[in-house]
Structure 1
Amino acid sequence: MGAVVAYLFALRAATDAYDLGLLDDALDLDKQVSLHQGGLALELPPAARQMLASNNEDRVRYAAWDEQGRMFSGDAGLKQLDIPQGEENHVFQDVQLQDGASRAVVLRGSLYGRTIFVAVAQTVHGRNRLTRNIFFKLLFPEALLAVVAMSIVLLGVRRGLSPVNALSEEILKRSPQDLSRIDENRAPAELQPIIHGVNELLEKLSASFAGHRRFIADAAHQLRTPLAVLGSQIEVGLQQPPQNVRALLQQLLATTNRTSHLANQLLSMARLEHTEQDVFTHGPVELSEVVRAAAADFIGRAADKNLDLEFRLVPCTVQGNALLLRELIMNLLDNAVRYTPEDGHVWLTLEQEGKQCALAVNDSGPGVPESALTTLGKPFHRLASDESGCGLGLAIVREIARLHQAEVMFGRSSEGGLSVRIVLNALPTSRT
């Protein structure tokens, strides 16, 4: 491309040089026009005619005529050329003559008040040969320069990408269990932000896998106890059949229900811990309707313990997943009904506070010491006095709240029990 551009510049320069020579010849011929016996004449010596007719390998033709079109010298074929118009005194043009492609100039002059035209045309063989020579002389160094530049670029790219290749090999050599940080100091400055990002991802993966392994270990430990109890009860019943079979079956049912409840909560926790907010399906949810649907499952349990189950609800619409929100409410109610003693009080409130919905579940149970409030919601965390729970209910509440970008707060209720307050963002269309 550089050679082509240079060729175009050379062609323009050669054309300008040839045009200047043609114009000089036309001016010289114009000076030779004279008045002879009442008419115009252009007389050239034979030597001048010979020099003008042949210019190296090109052939030169000339002609002169007056404003009435009367030729008084030269080649009549040039009379058909375009003449200057307006204020122009000369005009250049490319023409096709019997000698081949030519470049011509037509000069307008005056003599004794009469307008005359002088034309000079020259073939362009010499001009084309000159520009071709320039093009081919430029082509070799330009091609050589292109080859050298490409070689330098390829060498530079390979050397520049060698740290990337080394980083790729280092990562590929690692085992799936190796999540240690990559050394950032050995990489060039351009790659350090990428390696830093990869290291942060590796740290998050390491923490996630560690939590996953810890969860599996805790889950195995939690399941081992009720299964062992269940097995022991059955074994004792087989060795010494009790007189009261109903009592044994009730014990087995209670243990089975506890194990089933634990298994369900383990599955829920495992699913929620590895779910991101933008993955699960969500849409507008009328939270008061979800509360009513979830509360229906606890009316019977509350009646068995003679609990006062109270609901204070206002319509409030949030963006979320109705099934997960129902599971959140059911875990809160299960926790409140389970730990509130007989003849106690459990009340659930739903209020809209500006652009937020506040859901609170309160009970009159034993409550939680102030020092233990900060540890509530951690998986498998239970108070020393808690023998019936498995430590996953409030952890599931926290995970569902995280997926809904909601805030969870623990405190003491007005009757001394536990108060769990969850604040969600309300949709603008919510009714108050």
Structure 2
Amino acid sequence: MTSQRLARRSLQTRLGLAYAAGIYAAGVFVLVLVAVPLASINAAIPKDRPTSSTITETGPGISLPQLLTGSAVALVILIPVALALGWYVAGRFLHPLRAITATAQIISAGNLHQRLDLGEPTDELTELGHTLDGLFARLQASFDAQRHFVANASHELRTPLAGLRTLLEVTLADPDADTDTLRSACQEALALGGHQERLVHALLALATSERGVTRWDTFDLAHVVEGVLASRRDQATETGIDLAGHLTPSVTAGDPRLIESLVANLIDNAIRHNHPDGHVKVTTEASGTQATLTVTNTGPVIPDNQIQRLFQPFQKLAPERQGRRDGYGLGLAIVHAVTQAHHATLTAAARPEGGLSITVRFAYGSEPSLTSGNDHAGTRDRGRSASSG
């Protein structure tokens, strides 16, 4: 705290000296501007005769030594006056900065709701205050989202662990358990372990994606989608889903692994939440500097006001979806994370006949956003090269 006060005073001292130097320089300039003409006039008058026979004596004039002495005294007096004015002006200019510093010291991870609220007048310092207020708001939203995510993740992990514990306790408590019973219990335990492993893998994918893009390569989006489609055709055939692709070359830049994760999760989500004999259509196209990916699928009707929830972790809209073990409610959260990491635009719209149409537009320099039909829906950053459901 002491060093911060010294630093603050040092800044005020430097600004005060700078302002004082300016005031002093202005005073010297004014004195020179006034004294030099007077001195030249005095020097032009002969000492032994008057300037004009018509001029009568009105009093003693100002001699050159008196003029110089008065100017020197004025310059000496101007020094403390300039310092005082410089210190006062510097303090006035630094007052908003001190308010910003004091509030920023109060704000912490548990007190992110406080804001600077500098108000008027609008200048560079108040603009800085508004920028910091926006930063604090985003930090608060990030901390709240993190706490919410940790709570959900803990709940999702506790459920299979509790099931595994119950299975083992029941099996061990059965005195008549034979080899077949133990084998069956082991198989169920392995299934629960596999479920936990996939869930942890999904959580790691989500956490890894929050770090953002660490590499930017130029690649063809259609080529990435084609590879994912080839790996998902057997899954689509087994579930009776018609998986179709209409791909045109679409060159963009980013992390190919994260983009592959985005595509895989979009397609897996479209296949998983679909009707028997439904269809999934995947298209890529290029428009100017944008590369566009669109995934459209049939499925249950989704209310427009519920689309935002789809992009939050562990959110499952339909009750029948909650009982399924092949999804964790993380797939579209990872999709949005990868979109945000690449500063792309994600648009999701519910189809009137059921299902979703999700479009991702990759463009250089675009600001991340998410729209749900005609409404904006806020989400957060994530992504990784993995399908998480």
Please state which band the TM-score falls in when normalised by the shorter chain: 0.5 to 0.7
Other-structure match for 1:323: 257
After superposition, the Cα gap between the structure-2 partners of 1:169 and 1:321, relative to the gap in structure 1 and judged at 3 Å, is: same
Other-structure match for 2:340: 402
For the residues of structure 2 that align with 1:210 and 1:426, how far apart are their CA atoms?
30
For the residues of structure 1 that align with 2:126 and 2:110, how far apart are their CA atoms?
23
For the residues of structure 2 that align with 1:412 and 1:293, how far apart are their CA atoms?
27
Is 1:419 the counterpart of 2:353? The answer is no
Name the Cα RMSD after superposition.
3.9
After superposition, the Cα gap between the structure-2 partners of 1:345 and 1:20, relative to the gap in structure 1 and judged at 3 Å, is: farther
Report the alpha carbon displacement of residue 385 of structure 1 after superposing the two structures with TM: 0.8
For the residues of structure 2 that align with 1:182 and 1:373, how far apart are their CA atoms?
31
1:311 touches 1:347 (CA, 8 Å); kept in 2? yes
Is 1:232 the counterpart of 2:166? The answer is yes
Is 1:265 the counterpart of 2:198? The answer is no
One-letter amino acid matched to 2:252: V
One-letter amino acid matched to 2:194: N
User: Normalized against structure 2, the TM-score is what?
Assistant: 0.66
Other-structure match for 1:393: 331
Report the alpha carbon displacement of residue 273 of structure 1 after superposing the two structures with TM: 5.1
Is 1:216 the counterpart of 2:216? The answer is no
1:349 touches 1:359 (CA, 8 Å); kept in 2? yes
Identity %: 28
For the residues of structure 2 that align with 1:175 and 1:407, how far apart are their CA atoms?
32
Structure with more relative contact order (C-alpha pairs < 8 Å, separation 6 or more): 2
Of 133, 137, 140, which aligns to 2:73?
Answer: 140
Q: Report how many residues are paired.
A: 315
One-letter amino acid matched to 2:111: D
3-state DSSP of counterpart to 2:319: coil
Matches within 5 A, 1:107-256: 131=64, 134-158=67-91, 161-162=94-95, 164-165=97-98, 168-182=101-115, 184=117, 193-239=127-173, 240=177, 243=180, 247-256=184-193
CA displacement 1:107-135 (0-9 Å, x = unmatched) = xxxxxxxxxxxxxxxxxxxxxxx755532
After superposition, the Cα gap between the structure-2 partners of 1:308 and 1:16, relative to the gap in structure 1 and judged at 3 Å, is: same
CA displacement 1:184-223 (0-9 Å, x = unmatched) = 4899876655544433332332222111111111111111
Q: Which segment drifts farther, 139-148 or 241-250?
A: 241-250
Report the alpha carbon displacement of residue 174 of structure 1 after superposing the two structures with TM: 5.0
CA displacement 1:39-84 (0-9 Å, x = unmatched) = xxxxxxxxxxxxxxxxxxxxxxxxxxxxxxxxxxxxxxxxxxxxxx
By percentage of residues, which structure has more helix?
A: 2
CA displacement 1:319-372 (0-9 Å, x = unmatched) = 3332221111111122233345676644422234566444233445x4343454
Report the alpha carbon displacement of residue 409 of structure 1 after superposing the two structures with TM: 1.8
Structure 1 stretches lacking a partner, 5+ long: 25-129, 428-432
3-state DSSP of counterpart to 1:243: helix
Of 213, 221, 225, which aligns to 1:287?
Answer: 221
Structure (1 or 2) with the larger CA radius of gyration: 1
Q: Which segment drifts farther, 313-322 or 182-191?
A: 182-191
1:4 touches 1:135 (CA, 8 Å); kept in 2? no
Is 1:380 the counterpart of 2:333? The answer is no
User: Normalized against structure 1, the TM-score is what?
Assistant: 0.60
Matches within 5 A, 1:364-379: 366-370=299-303, 372-373=306-307, 375-379=309-313
3-state DSSP of counterpart to 1:158: helix
1:349 touches 1:361 (CA, 8 Å); kept in 2? yes
For the residues of structure 1 that align with 2:289 and 2:98, how far apart are their CA atoms?
52
CA displacement 1:231-277 (0-9 Å, x = unmatched) = 333444444455166654543343233222222222333444575xx
2:109 touches 2:143 (CA, 8 Å); kept in 1? no
Structure 2 stretches lacking a partner, 5+ long: 1-27, 53-62, 365-389
For the residues of structure 2 that align with 1:339 and 1:166, how far apart are their CA atoms?
53
3-state DSSP of counterpart to 1:408: strand
After superposition, the Cα gap between the structure-2 partners of 1:151 and 1:381, relative to the gap in structure 1 and judged at 3 Å, is: same
By percentage of residues, which structure has more strand?
A: 1
